[in-house]
Amino acid sequence: MVFKNSKIIKYFALFIFLIFNINGVSTSNSVKLNYIKKEIETKKEKKLSTPKYPAELTIEVSNKLDSVFKRFNKRHDFHGSVLVAKNGKLIFSNHYGYANFSKKLKLDNNSTFQLASVSKQFTAASILILFERGLLKLDDKVSKYYPDFPYEEVTIRHLLNHTSGLPQYFWLAEHEWKKDIPPVNSEMMDMISEYKVLRYFKPGSRFDYSNTGYFVLASLVEKISNKSYKDFVEKNIFTPLDMNNTYVYRFKQDEIDENQLYGYRLYKGWRHIKITGTVNDAITGDKNVYSTVDDLFKWINGLNSGKIISKNILNQMYSKGETKYGKKVPYGFGFRINDKEAEKVIYHYGKWNGFSTSIKQYTDSDITIITLEHSNYRSMNHLNETVKNIVIENFNEKEIL
């Protein structure tokens, strides 16, 4: 990735500068250079540190979680990474199974997973960043920025809450796109304006989960910021949070990262078949962010601590939207909201091309579970509930304190 390489080049250049100039500087300048070098190293250490409980305090819960995931791997073909935290501090993190089945390469800290619909929270956050900068209003109509957009009454808020009624763009891509290279956002926006596919319902009248809505939101980010979606999220989210293994990838448009995983499907109960990209896989906003569990932990902690958007806007992000009739919908801005159970849960699942992903925050118990998998695992909700119960039963922070 260019981003990763630029950091390597920066520190290498500083090292070369020090080597070639150290003999030609005064003692005073030498001290200054050493001070600068120490400052850089200190900042690197601070940025790379992850808040976590001491290992000796998490032995019991870690052993139980490790045993469960080994069983998931062996019995249920789970090949993925998991991270569990409480009160914003790491309890457990590990990887199970293969990154590459044919080469028998194991998953590791650098293996990057397609987040699928978990990507939507970065799109929502990007819109909210622009909102806080005064560059848009949530009740602006999309047609304000795209005059040829055929659904005149659809607002940004409708898109965020999945109440827009927009038809799925997949149909257009699969039936009307004639080129070998899959379309990017700007090309799909042109197709939407050209074909004017019938909407599902009047905007704001009801909830209907929409990938189209979030690709349109990413297109708005590009239009308003005058940057690609890829560049915007890197500059405004990934880089500030030190998410060095997170990036946007568009099929046949961008270079494949060396640690980027493919999704797999199980054939005849034993053979893993690699799943390749489709005509829908160069569209961003609804999917196509790649990341690791460690980076997503940085994301959740950064988001919740106000490093990306203000706490007031975060509360809106984590609150249910509503229809124009006042009926609540089970979605905020980029997150699903479930407040019907014993405790409020803020979460999102993703499923695409063999990848199964999940970020789940249990608000009362303050437990966060991040799971990324790439062999078409189908029991993510059961997995999360199992992990949560293990943490509650085997990790008592009051006893630790």
Residues annotated as catalytic are 117
What are the angstrom distances between the C-alpha of 179 and each of 97, 183, 283? 37, 8, 15
* 80 touches 97 (CB < 8 A): yes
Q: Give 215's DSSP letter.
A: H
- Locate 109 and state its tokens: 């800290």
Secondary structure class of 351 (helix, strand, coil): strand
Q: How much of the chain is in helix, strand and coil states, percent to nearest 5?
A: 45, 20, 40
**Residues contacting residue 306 through CB under 8 Å, at least 6 positions apart:** 314
Angle at 286 between CA 282 and CA 291, to 5 degrees: 80
- Distance, in Å, from the CA atom of 279 to the CA atom of 272, rounded to the nearest integer, reads 22
Distance of CA 246 to the CA centre of its chain: 8
263 closest CA partner among 253, 276, 251 = 276
DSSP for 174-212, please give it.
HHH--SSSPP-HHHHHHHHHHH-PPPSS-TTSS----HH
Distance CA 320, CA 343 (A): 15
Do residues 286 and 334 lie in contact, with contact meaning Cβ atoms separated by under 8 Å? Answer: no
Distance from C-alpha of 188 to C-alpha of 186, rounded to nearest angstrom: 5
Find the helix or strand (DSSP H, E) in which 45 lies: helix 27-48
Exposure string for 355-378, b = 16+ CB within 10 A, e = fewer: bbbbbbbbeeeebbbbbbbbbbbe
Q: Please report the sign of the dihedral spanned by the C-alpha atoms of residue 34, residue 39, residue 44, residue 46.
A: positive
Q: Which two tokens stand for residue 257?
A: 């990262």
Spatial CA neighbour of 116 closest among 376, 388, 400? 376
| Distance, C-alpha 349 to centroid of its chain | 11
